[in-house]
A = this chain, B = another copy of it.
Amino acid sequence: MTTKILRFLAEQQPSTPCLIVDLDVIVNNYNAMRNFLPAVEIFYAVKANPAKEVISLLVDLKSCFDAAGRQEIEQIIAAGATTDRILFGNTIKKQKDIAWAYDHGVRLFAFDSKIELQKLAQSAPTSNVFCRLLVNCEGADWSLSKKFGCDIEMARDLMIEAQEKGLNPYGISFHVGSQQTRIDQWDIAIGKTARLFFMLNEAGIELKVINLGGGLPTRYLNDNIASINSHADAIMSAMVKYFGNKMPLMIMEPGRFLIGNAGIIESEVVLISNKSYDENVRWVYLDIGKFGGLAETMNESIKYSIQAPGDGITGPVVLAGPTCDSADILYEIFQYQMPLSLKVGDKVLIMTTGAYTASYSAVNFNGFGPLKTYCI
């Protein structure tokens, strides 16, 4: 926890709920990545937190950017980055957005399908393209799916077709899964990607870059996560093992790792109740819930550490949000412990909430506005 955030909360007494982001922590995380993975170019995944101050800071740090859509590209440009530092990384793009990005100088795109490749060939000719490879990794806390990427044979054919269509087959990307807690997954993904590099090499295509994606974890509740240097070691060992002395350039798209632990949400306890005399379940209702910025509590996937005032004696609670929606429950299956002395009006700190919170929040569900962010 940063004392800077605590001081801000004590001095400014902002209305709750609110997210406070300590920009210094982002700088530390950025520098840690640069130290432990010096050969890796960083493309910040803007979707993790698109706050203006965050993007500006990363522009100043000379970061590159992974953008999900046109609006994010606009934000990055507005913050002063040149478009040669932008990857349009979403594999699901409207043709008109590709054309717009190309017109504004973006020359780096990702795709994972034949149709997307056709769009790129038409609206972003000669651009550098990544094909996203589907890898089957385990150990990610946030839902994995087959939504992105394609199989290795298809990826090979698509890259050959990319070249035929006048695009530059630039590299392969993958994603080990967001909040990846198992370092052994890097070996699986990099091994498979290396195989694709060699398959394409045999077809006469020399790829330049491996895009290692995101996945570097931040520390949530109970996460016995490996440190950045363990992840870096696992990545570099796999790179050496599979690529030997034919090492491609490396890029990564960290989001959660760069900003997750830079943010703390302050929330107020609105109500504490029991439902019956027989059943001794304590319900604690906060002024933030699933639709107010904590969307990643869906299926209780991400478990935030929550700090509440009070003496040491705690008991189990069901934690819920403030809306009239019966689905707006944060944790019911996983039993959180909170002080028995907790009372209405107490402020709690929801830790490590810098990533994937504010931008997810509903525009006005139940009349509650989106989560306000203060960058300090």
Contact = CB atoms under 8 A, between A and B. Distances in A.
A64 interface: no
Contact of A69 (B73, B145, B368): B368
A361 B363 CA distance: 6
Contacts of A326: 142-145, 147-148, 175, 177-178
A278 B146 CA distance: 14
A68 B362 contact: no
The DSSP consensus for interface residues of chain A is loop
Q: Which of A154, A276, A325, A370 gathers most chain B CB within 10 Å?
A: A325
A116 to B, nearest CB: 6
B115 A273 contact: yes
B324 A68 contact: yes
Interface string A63-75: 0000111111111
A147 to B, nearest CB: 5
B366 A90 contact: yes
Contacts of A361: 362-363
Contact of A151 (B276, B325, B345, B359): B276
A94 to B, nearest CB: 6
Interface of A: 45-47, 50, 67-75, 89-95, 112-116, 119, 134, 142-151, 153-154, 175, 177-178, 268, 270-279, 281, 283, 285, 287, 291, 295, 298-299, 301, 320, 322-329, 332, 344-345, 358-370
